[in-house]
Structure formats: structure tokens, C-alpha cells
Amino acid sequence: MKLPISFYRQENVLKLGKDLLGKFLFTKIDNKISAGMIIETESYGGIKDKACHAYNNLYTERTKVMYERGGVAYIYLCYGMHHLFNIVVNKKNIPEAILIRALKPFIGTDVMKERNPSKNFLNGPGSLCKSLQITKKLNGENLLGSKIWIEDRGVKIKDKNILKLKRIGIDYAKEDALLPWRFKIKKI
């Protein structure tokens, strides 16, 4: 079943980063469904997090989506070539989001490989967006809609099987770059 809106409105972005592990991200683009299980996330903690685009309450055309109520998609272009998909959480005007970094194939593997022939087609935030055809067109899209959504299929990840690691590619955030806000399912 689709995650209810109340899930996204919770106020603990770190708990949500962990809770999203084992959930399933779906897209339906051009009438083709593809999906994967979320196995790695990173939490971005609002105006006090130097790694967050909304640090210091920065409000621009790009970041405004993060100020929406939880339950919408924040998608932007990085390095001029990669789309990155984030889940906006918490209340309106609290700009917190969770970046999806990796998925495990579930549905529509052939379609995904066709869109992204690379070996790591769901490993890495830019790669998985290419495979699921997530583009800026979906920026601000409601995650309970019919184009992009997240389902709970009863998979439970125990806390002892979750690795807590520092986030990647944000060295400019100085001390915040060391925060263990990346969550990953331990390989069994």
C-alpha cells in the first residue's frame, strides 16, 4: 500500500531516513511502471544543516519546494547533468528532505536497463533517476499521485542491520559533513 500522507509529515528527518529503507519507490512514466526497494538514503536537516540547500533559510526558485508540506518530490539537476530525487518531509516551511541514493531492482528491470544501460543502473542518486526516468518535470509532484509514489510492502529492516555513515560529496559543509546521516541496509 502507498505510504499515507501522515508518514511524510513526521517531524524527525533522521527517523524517516531510516524508515524509508525497505520501502519501494515506484514511477509510472509513459505508461511504464518501474520500481525498486530503497536501500540507501541521506537526510538533509533544514536551515541549520550546512549541507542542505535550504541552509540559513535560503529560499530560491530551486529550494522553494522543500518548504512545502511533507509528501512531495524535490528534484534538481546536479553537476549540470544528473537529476537527484529527494522526498520532502515535515511541516510547511520546515525545509527538510531525504535523498534516495540507491535501490534494489523490483519491477520493470528491463525498462530501467533500457533507459540506463550502465551496470550500476540503480546504484547512485543520479543513476536511479535515469533508470526510473525521474526528471525535473516531477519536481513538486505529490508522492501519493499516479506518476511517482512509495509503497510499504511489509519489509522490515532491523536497526542492527542499518549502517550509519557520513554523507557523500558535501565536504564544503565543514563539520556537518561528518554527521552520520546516511543510512544503508547492511549486506546480509
Give the torsion sign (CA, 5, 9, 12, 13): positive
Determine contact, residues 20/152, Cβ cutoff 8 Å.
no
Instruction: Rank residues 23 and 83 by Cβ distance to DNA and give the closer one.
Output: 83
Amino acid found at 121: F
Q: How many CB atoms lie within 10 A of CB 94?
A: 19
Instruction: Rank residues 126 and 145 by Cβ distance to DNA and give the closer one.
Output: 126
- Helix runs in 13-140, H state only: 13-19, 109-115, 125-131
Q: How many residues does the chain have?
A: 188
Q: Which residues 23-52 are close enough to bind DNA by CB under 7 A?
A: 42, 44, 51-52
Q: Name the nearest CA neighbour of 38 among 86, 104, 88.
A: 104
CB under 7 A: which stretch of 11-19, 26-34, 144-152, 167-175 binds DNA?
Answer: 167-175
Residue whose entry in the numeric block shows the C-alpha cell 517531524: 11
Cβ 82 to DNA shortest distance, Å? 5
Cβ 117 to DNA shortest distance, Å? 8
Q: Is residue 105 within the footprint of DNA (CB under 7 A)? A: no
Q: Is residue 169 within the footprint of DNA (CB under 7 A)? A: yes
Q: Which three cell numbers stand for residue 51?
A: 549541507
Q: How far apart are CA 84 and CA 88, in angstroms?
A: 13
Q: Is residue 172 within the footprint of DNA (CB under 7 A)? A: yes
Per CB under 7 A, the list member of 13, 125, 134, 148 interacting with DNA is 125
Q: Is residue 94 within the footprint of DNA (CB under 7 A)? A: no
Q: Is residue 115 within the footprint of DNA (CB under 7 A)? A: no
Q: Is residue 170 within the footprint of DNA (CB under 7 A)? A: yes
Where does this chain bind DNA (CB under 7 A)?
Answer: 42, 44, 51-53, 58, 60-63, 66, 74, 76-82, 84, 86, 97, 99, 116, 118-120, 124-128, 136, 167-170, 172
